[in-house]
Amino acid sequence: MNKTWWKEAVIYQIYPRSFMDSNGDGIGDLKGITSRLDYLKYLGIDVIWLSPVYKSPNDDNGYDISDYQDIMDEFGTMEDFDEMLAAAHERGIRIVMDLVVNHTSDEHRWFVESRKSTDNEYRDYYIWREGKDAQTPPNNWGSCFSGSAWQYDEETSMYYLHLFSKKQPDLNWDNPKVRKEVFDMMTWWCDKGIDGFRMDVISMISKTKEMPDGEVTDLYGDFSPYCIHGPNVHKYLQEMNEKVLSKYDIMTVGETAGVTIEQAKQYAGEDTHELNMVFQFEHVERNGSGKYGKWTNEQLPLTVLKKTMSRWQTELYGKAWNSLFWDNHDQPRAVSNFGDDRPQYREASAKMLATCLHMQQGTPYIYQGEELGMTNYPFQSPEEFRDIESINAYKEWCSDGVVSHEDFWPCIIFKSRDNARTPVQWDDSWQAGFTAGTPWIAVNPNYKEINAKAETADPNSVFHYYKKLIELRKKNPIMVYGKYDLMLEDSEELFVYTRTLDEEKLLVVCSFCDHETSFTVPDEFVGAPCLISNMENAYGKAEMTLKPYEAFVLKR
């Protein structure tokens, strides 16, 4: 297996809108990020993945881009960006940009032109179709953000495709001019000195030519078979690799919802010349099998979680590279989704989850605030939502009467993307130190207890536990390159696995339950020293009683 810097790195995701506000307008910004780089340096991360900072009307918080070579007004200027990049590089931190090129904003110059007439030179930059008749879209596909995936446009009496909001028209990647525009734009950023790309829904860029109705799964037809991993997706990524990526020492990670292991080997194979790694979503998305589409308030059973993660660990080993994550800006908070956010268990379970993930094989991602053990937000009413997905879903499922508020509410507040988007809790002062003004989305009321100032001062905090895990990775190549083997696969209480590299071996033991459990240490690890643990215990003894959410790693 080739050794590379991005395999050995720990990546930290910044969602700029909620990270740090420098000028009191309630919106996080680039100067805010620059002001907190020393904090990230202290934590020890190597790379920042920056969610979109490009010019955008913010229908989907920057994932709707109106100019790829300019900065969003609220976030600052290109000078602020250059300063931030230089300041990060000075500290040895790399910056990976979010690349959102499945779609643009409807306010992008290309789309403004495209919708003008059927013979406009930009017409074919997007996907236009005639409706079945004047009132009926070309097919029954639903958009990820509710409603039809087609929007009627009066100018030319045709529909355009938008797999996300109607302000996010899908680009037509079959048009070579579109590909050239995108590759040129990427080259421009690479020449500026950025260190890579996280590619938004990159698995959706190629659509089938025929666009039949999809199977009706919840309220609309499913577009997946026609739009995800489409016919030319690998061809286009190889072209991108040849024309742009291969020319720079950068890293790439593709967001590939619905990806299978076989497909991942193609997208991120050691020698397929596409991407370095992909995000798979099996352990977070449950393939829409929640109570109401993706909406549910049930945690995944531990046996299912282990099976899913372990398959990726074993089957990609030596063939393609894993990315490891519990959460991001689209997911509930890790400790609420996979751990236990009740006050008596929050710290222990947050550290346990960190152990479980960072000891696995692949590149770990930390989502802002995860290193503090930040929790889901206690939403009281739909008026508190800011996210287009949550707002639309509440309307479609509840206000329109598909399910009752009582049934739907616990599900939407458990899964809402806004849980991850409340401001980072820096200290116990006004608005958690995020802004001097009024934040664009409410601060979690638990900021007095959970905040960076308190945790950096407390050597036993979740923060310091993450810091230690990152340090251990630098000293123990086995954490990066070791082979993974699951133990006790039927246990609903313990997640146990080993890592092996040459003569070295690690035993990783994580309790996922809120009661005591017994555990017998395998003979070869009895007496082995403990590398890290989230509690005090007699590590090295054969027969152990584990406390709720206990986690430890033995090394021999």
Residue 502: CB partners within 8 Å, gap ≥ 6?
Answer: none
From the list 21-29, 197-205, 289-297, 330-338, the region that binds Ca ion by CB under 5 A is 21-29
Residue nearest to ligand TEU (CB): 63
Choose which of 9, 16, 19, 29 interacts with Ca ion (CB under 5 A). Answer: 29
Backbone angles phi and psi of 48, in degrees to 5: -105, 130
**Nearer of residues 7 and 329 to ligand TEU, judged by Cβ:** 329
Set 106, 200, 282, 340: catalytic member: 200
Is residue 80 at the binding interface for Ca ion, with CB under 5 A as the rule?
no
User: Please, are residues 456 and 449 in contact by the beta-carbon 8 Å criterion?
Assistant: no
Q: How many helices (H) and strands (E) does the chain have?
A: 18, 20
Let me know: does 551 contact 356? Beta carbons within 8 Å.
yes
**How many residues sit in the footprint of ligand TEU (CB under 6 A)?**
13
Q: How far is the CB of 294 from ligand TEU (least distance, A)?
A: 5
State the nearest-atom distance from the C-beta of 329 to ligand TEU, in Å: 6
Site for ligand TEU in 237-266 (CB under 6 A): 255, 257
Alpha helix ranges (H) inside 213-260: 224-227, 233-243
By CB under 6 A, is residue 294 in contact with ligand TEU? yes
- The two structure tokens encoding residue 497: 């696995």
x/- track of binding to ligand TEU for residues 373-412 (CB under 6 A): ----------------x-----------------------
Q: Which two tokens stand for residue 383?
A: 């008026």
Closest Cα partner for 43 from 331, 424, 322?
Answer: 424
Q: Which tokens sit at 261?
A: 């292991």
Using CB under 5 A, which of the segments 18-26, 56-64, 243-251, 536-544 binds Ca ion? 18-26
| Residue 82 bears catalytic tag | no
Compute CA 362 distance to the chain's CA centroid, rounded to the nearest angstrom: 15
Active site residue 200: yes
Q: Residue 117: what are its φ and ψ, rounded to 5°? A: -160, 160
Whether 419 contacts 376, CB under 8 Å: yes
- CB of 25 or CB of 485, closer to Ca ion: 25
For 92, phi then psi, to 5°, come to: 75, 20
- Work out how close the CB of 3 gets to ligand TEU at its nearest, in angstroms, rounded to a whole number: 29
Q: Say which residues have a Cβ less than 8 Å from residue 467's Cβ, sequence separation at least 6.
A: 42, 43, 44, 371
Of the candidates 255, 396, 418, 493, the residue annotated as catalytic is 255
What one-letter code names the amino acid at 476?
A: N
Answer yes or no whether residue 201 interacts with ligand TEU by CB under 6 A.
yes
CB of 60 to ligand TEU, least distance (A): 5
Q: Which of Ca ion, ligand TEU, none binds 257 (CB below 5-8 Å, type-dependent)?
A: ligand TEU
Nearer to Ca ion, 32 or 196 (CB): 32
Establish if 40 lies at the interface with ligand TEU (CB under 6 A): no
Binding flag, residue 97, ligand TEU (CB under 6 A): no
Among 45, 96, 101, 144, binds ligand TEU (CB under 6 A): 144
Give how far the C-alpha of residue 240 lies from the chain's centroid of Cα atoms, to the nearest Å.
22
Distance of CA 436 to the CA centre of its chain: 28
Task: Point out the residues that are catalytic.
Answer: 200, 255
> Which residues here bind ligand TEU, judged by CB under 6 A?
60, 63, 100, 144, 164, 200-201, 255, 257, 294, 329-330, 389
